[in-house]
Structure formats: structure tokens, C-alpha cells
Structure 1
């Protein structure tokens, strides 16, 4: 899916590295990684739209393990893409620190803290999903075959199979997922929406600080 996003207009200091033209159309999608904060926000909104519905989440049951695993794989893919998307923030927002106005430096610190918190929150869900989709396995001998060749030499062949190490723990993880799925879905949705708002606040703070910096230089002149 490809979505056209419009970059928000914002101020910039005289020493700030030039960015793309304001209001330039950019394409963001599965095959087009973001490169600016507005693009990152648009990508997050795309991922939010892919989260399974409340109805689908509420219907998860131990009676339909395939449906549960499909839900887990969908949410796992979304959270992975989301956390990968957040890595582009530092790239999109790079500016040499001595050139950054003081207020934007504080705002950048707040944005970084929010990214760390957001990653930790989505990892709560991702870790539970991992315990459901990839339980601990043991390798056990399944079959041993002995073949005696014409020269009298015996050749042994071993076949091994992977078995779940702790079936009871897997069952417990599945039950817990069914019980908490609605809450964990909402945690992912709220976390991602909060990050979009946080990026809005950061861009407003950056534009305000840049405007104040420009005004200060104008008065000095």
C-alpha cells in the first residue's frame, strides 16, 4: 500500500541543515521507508490501521488455535515494523548538536524518552506473542534404523524430531493471551497513537524555538 503524505510547514534556523521543500508530496509504504518525521507519522498511522479489530481480538479462543496464531503473527509483524520505523527518527531529525537551539535540544530529549517508553510498551506484547508462536523445543530421537551391508558392516541411521519442551507452559501462555488480548491490543494502539501526537508536539516546539531564534537575531540586527 502506498499513501501520499504532505509535510508540515515549520521554521528552521540559519544553521540548520536544509530539508525537503515544505508541502512536498512524499510516498510512504511497505516498499518506501520514511525519511522525515511527517513520513514516519504517516507510516505509523498505516500500521495502526492494520491492527486486528476489537471484535476479532475478543473472539480469540483456545478452541481455534490457528486463528490465535494468525492474530499473533499479524500483531508481531506490526510491532516489528513499528519499532523499525522508530529507528528512522534519529536519521530524519539529525542536526549537529552545537547548532541546535536550547529549547529544541530539550524537546529532542523528551522525544527520545518517549521512543524508549514506546518500544518498551510494545515489547510487552511482542514478548508474549513470542512465547505463543515460538515455544521452547527439545530434539528427541524418533527412529533408529540399522542396515547391514553385504560386507557385514552395519550402518545406523537416526531420525530426530522436535517436540515442545513444556506443553503446559505453552497452554498457559495461550490462555493468558486470550484473557489479555483486548488489553494488549489497546496498549499497542494507544502507544502508537501517542507517538504520533508526541512527534506533533516536538515539531511544534522545534518550529517555535526556531522562530524565537530568528526573532532574537532580527532584534540584535
Structure 2
């Protein structure tokens, strides 16, 4: 009797298509999103007047008021930046919860494709690697793990897909960075946008490099 043909779902990497993994990732993403949203709402609505005035007074006393601000203007700018930053955190948290719901449904469609004998979608390895890294964002250098998953599962360039998983991993932080940049403009300090943009570039580069290293490792293991 001929040996049964191995289906995609029975492949060695079937662990990465298990429904239990989906439950774990989605649960972590939802909890993470709720915590971030609550933290952001707390920061955005906090009364930081005394803190801002103290920082501005210290800057004035040392003669280091930035961007030609007066002491009062600096205090107002600090309050504006804190409010916008908190709003960005809250938005990032809500988006994480929404992304978790979308990811769960998406993974169901991926399993349906495998059950029909079709290949996973082109970007599935990248999305899964990014989702895993985001769900475990509290683990140091988790970008490497996310890139490794993407590099292991992809049938294309492990290095490129690993790096893309790292870039996508940073998506929640991009929302916060964007809110801070908008807050800088609202605070009358558009010059700070350049510093924010530089910070984002460094952040993306670090995520991409770490995840690319993981992609190479995952591709080698595969």
C-alpha cells in the first residue's frame, strides 16, 4: 500500500499553523493592547501642570530654555507633548486589540488554504513573525525570534522577510512616535519633528537588523 502523502498541515512547520498558537498570540496581543491603552489614557488625562512648571523653572534657572521658549511657554509645551504622547499610547493599544481580532480571522483563512492543499499567502511568514514578536514585546531582543519565524517559514528570501517582520513589529511604536511628532507641532515646536524622525529611523533600523539576523538563523534551520 502506498505511503500517505504529507499534506501542508502535516509538514514539520505545522506547529506554526496550530490553532492553539493563535489563541496564545491573540490573548497576549489583547492583554498587551488593553494595558497600553489604559496607560495611554492615564498619561493623556493626567494633571502634569506641577511637573511641567517644575521642569520649566529648572530650565530657566540654569539658563537653558530651549528653542527660545519663555518659562511659561516651555511648561505649556511639555503638557501638550505629554497629552499627545499619552493619546498615541492609547491609540496604539486600541489598534493592537483590533489587529489581534483581524489576525485571528486571517489565520483561520490561512488554515483553510492549507486544508485545500494551497500554499499560505505571500506575506504570511512576515505577519506571523511580526505578530509573535509583538505579542512577546516584553522579552529582550524578541525581534530576533520574530525574524527567525519569518525566515523559517518563508520560501523566498529569509533575510528580507526576517527584516520585514522586524519593521512590521514596530508598527505600534510608529503610532506613538507619530503622536509625539503631532504634539511637537501643536506645542509650537516643529523643530522637534526632525528629532522624532531621526529616532524613528534608528528604531526601525535596529528592529530590521535584529530581525534580519533572526531571519538568517531561521532560514538556515529550515
Q: TM-score range by the shorter chain?
A: 0.3 to 0.5
TM-score (norm 2): 0.35
TM-score (norm 1): 0.35
Structure with max Cα Rg: 1
The structure whose RCO (Cα within 8 Å, separation 6+) is larger is 1
The answer to which structure has the higher helix fraction is 2
